[in-house]
Amino acid sequence: MNIYAIRAIYKFEMARTWRTLMQSIIAPVISTSLYFVVFGAAIGSRIKEVDGISYGAFIVPGLIMLSLLSQSISNASFGIYFPRFTGTIYELMSAPVSYLEIVVSYVGAAATKSILLGLIILATAGLFVPLQVQHPFWMILFLVLTAVTFSLLGFIIGIWADSFEKLQLVPLLIITPLTFLGGSFYAVNMLPPFWKVVTLFNPIVYLVSGFRWSFYGLADVHVGVSLGMTALFLAVFLAIVAWIFKTGYRLKS
């Protein structure tokens, strides 16, 4: 494996983050803090606790997951789309760099940014409510797996998109609504039986549930199921990326 190539692409992508610090880090943190203040004040005044956890603390894992999913997709999709837009992707494709190294570089950089952002949001939330992390190892594991998985999805979107508008299509119209409806701001067991069953068809439920379990030991579904679903998403996205490079989809034209 060409470590030098991976490091060069990775450092280039990370350098773009520091050049656009306001857009990459500060803006998402402020946006998430506003979510926290608004939801915590509006709903928290009516719902004091959820399963023995204060409502403000209960929504923290959901808010982190919301930012993690959207930023992972956004970072990875823009990172690979921009070289396609400028035409420099062909120089990269003709360089002595394997497809695996390209994916590791771009996805690794996008995941690193998202993990950093998630940790910053976690530290910021600690200023508003008292937090506890009962299972720190599993919290980090879910954080890393989710960031890598949805950075792969962002990479796929960046290859598929043929305009800057399409880069935001999936995050805005699919991922964000599913996250809001995936138990980020409420417990699934609070829903009527019919909607509880419907909600379980939302894949984001399993990500949020597993991540929240790592904080408070509370879960809407068994943590093993959450981990299995996360691994399944990772395998599916890896298979799609492999197919893209095998067929040259949107890369050879």
Structure tokens at 153: 């999805």
Q: Residue 192: helix, strand or coil by DSSP?
A: coil
pLDDT at 225: 95
pLDDT higher than threshold 80 for residue 44: no
Average pLDDT for 67-91: 89
For residues 187, 192, 198, 199, the Cα torsion angle rounded to the nearest 10 degrees is -10
What is the percent of the chain with per-residue pLDDT over 70, rounded to a whole number? Answer: 97
Q: Is residue 156 within 8 Å of 241, Cβ to Cβ?
A: yes
Measured between alpha carbons, how far is 210 from 203 in angstroms, rounded to an integer? 12
Q: In terms of Cα–Cα distance, which of 91, 71, 75 is closest to 83?
A: 91
Q: What are phi and psi of 63, to 5 degrees?
A: -65, -40
42: number of Cβ within 10 Å: 9
> CB within 8 A of 87, min separation 6: which ones?
none
Q: Per residue in 163-190, pLDDT tens?
A: 888 888 888 889 999 998 999 888 898 8
pLDDT higher than threshold 80 for residue 45: no
Average pLDDT for 92-111: 90
Measured between alpha carbons, how far is 196 from 128 in angstroms, rounded to an integer? 30
Q: In terms of Cα–Cα distance, which of 69, 71, 37, 73 is closest to 55?
A: 37
pLDDT higher than threshold 70 for residue 128: yes
pLDDT higher than threshold 70 for residue 82: yes
Q: Is residue 53 within 8 Å of 144, Cβ to Cβ?
A: no
Structure tokens at 26: 């500060």
Name which residue leads in pLDDT, 42 or 137: 137
Measured between alpha carbons, how far is 24 from 195 in angstroms, rounded to an integer? 36
Q: Is residue 133 within 8 Å of 215, Cβ to Cβ?
A: yes
Name which residue leads in pLDDT, 235 or 95: 235
Split at pLDDT 50, 70, 90, the class of 130 is confident
Question: For the chain, how many residues are written?
Answer: 253
pLDDT at 92: 83
Measured between alpha carbons, how far is 191 from 57 in angstroms, rounded to an integer? 20
Split at pLDDT 50, 70, 90, the class of 252 is low
Measured between alpha carbons, how far is 238 from 243 in angstroms, rounded to an integer? 9
What is the percent of the chain with per-residue pLDDT over 90, rounded to a whole number? Answer: 52
pTM of the model: 0.92
pLDDT higher than threshold 90 for residue 125: no
Name which residue leads in pLDDT, 253 or 116: 116
pLDDT higher than threshold 70 for residue 112: yes
- Strand segments (E) across the chain: 49-50, 53-54
Secondary structure in 3-state letters for 15-76: HHHHHCHHHHHHHHHHHHHHHHHHHHHHCCCCCCEECCEEHHHHCHHHHHHHHHHHHHHHHH
Strand-pairing partners, residue 49, are 54
pLDDT higher than threshold 70 for residue 57: yes
pLDDT higher than threshold 80 for residue 71: yes
Structure tokens at 71: 């930023």
Average pLDDT for 232-239: 96
